[in-house]
A = this chain, B = another copy of it.
């Protein structure tokens, strides 16, 4: 029996020069930055990575370049968020050829679907995918989430090996952990970094923290403290995570704040360009100055 996937997998931001041009140097810098922080793997083309906003061509380029740059130092997962099954499978094949380890499949998010339709969709996807599959639960983006009965049914499919849970409902996650206990190779990874501490303290296997693009070591340290049961350290680092989240992701003041402020922060940190794909726009100079100030306030930027 294989071990479940565990640890910190940053949902890598996708550095861009314009809407269909990768910031290649930025991607390399960002990858080296997070690897230097001790992360356990990478998650490409997730929501934080703007996967759904990128062209199919660019998505393939991201996967190929990132895999080459990482060169198997850590395992790589790739988010598949295409509403078309055929295009989704095509990306899974690109991913497999590039040398990544897993795909993370979102529910098709345009057509209305029932839970049995969702389960059947995933079963077919897992059968056709060249790589093992994690489920991407984020109902506020995809309208439908993975119900407990669907999880239970999909446990019968050995190639479904985990769940990325970005649903923000920890009562759901606790039930998932109980249900999946009979599949010790099944991994539950929490999405929002604000929930990393409690998730890992209570049994989750790891986290995909957007903030790890900025400060990878902080999240690795928190993960390790939670695994070790060092509660004092957990509280201290958790508090830092919440302060970063409140300070940075609130700039802009709308549903897109997280995406725009994170990309802006990466530019302020000298990691990559702050171009962001449609439907968003990069911050104005004033907002950028505010992000810079906040980064200083929380100790992520010197000066």
Contacts and interface: CB of A to CB of B under 8 A. Distances in A.
Interface of A: 19-20, 47, 50, 52-58, 81, 83-87, 90, 107-114, 117-118, 120-121, 124, 140-143, 168-171, 174-175, 177-178, 192, 194-195, 197-198, 201-203, 229, 231-232, 235, 238-239, 242-243, 245-246, 254-256, 259, 277-281
B58 A86 contact: yes
B55 A114 contact: no
B110 A109 contact: yes
A195 B170 CA distance: 7
Nearest to A195: B170
Given A110-B142, A168-B170, A202-B235, 17 more contacts: A52-B84, A53-B83, A54-B84, A55-B86, A55-B87, A58-B86, A81-B83, A85-B277, A85-B278, A107-B279, A109-B110, A124-B278, A168-B168, A168-B169, A170-B198, A171-B194, A171-B245
B111 A52 contact: yes
7 contacts: A53-B108, A81-B83, A108-B278, A111-B259, A111-B279, A117-B254, A171-B245
A91 B277 CA distance: 18
List the 8 closest A-B pairs by CB distance, nearest first: A112-B255, A198-B198, A55-B86, A85-B278, A52-B110, A171-B194, A52-B83, A121-B279
A47 B117 CA distance: 18
A246 B174 CA distance: 10
A278 B110 CA distance: 11
A118 B255 CA distance: 12
B83 A83 contact: yes
A171 B198 contact: no
Interface of A is mostly: helix
A268 to B, nearest CB: 22
Which has the most chain B C-beta neighbours within 10 Å: A107, A110, A243, A281? A110
A63 to B, nearest CB: 15
A123 B168 CA distance: 30
A256 B232 CA distance: 39
A243 B201 CA distance: 18
Nearest to A118: B279
Contacts of A52: 83-84, 108, 110-111
Contact of A243 (B178, B235, B243, B246): B178
Contact of A279 (B50, B108, B197, B254): B108
A146 to B, nearest CB: 13
A254 B116 CA distance: 11
A153 B151 CA distance: 34
A113 B279 contact: yes
B178 A114 contact: no
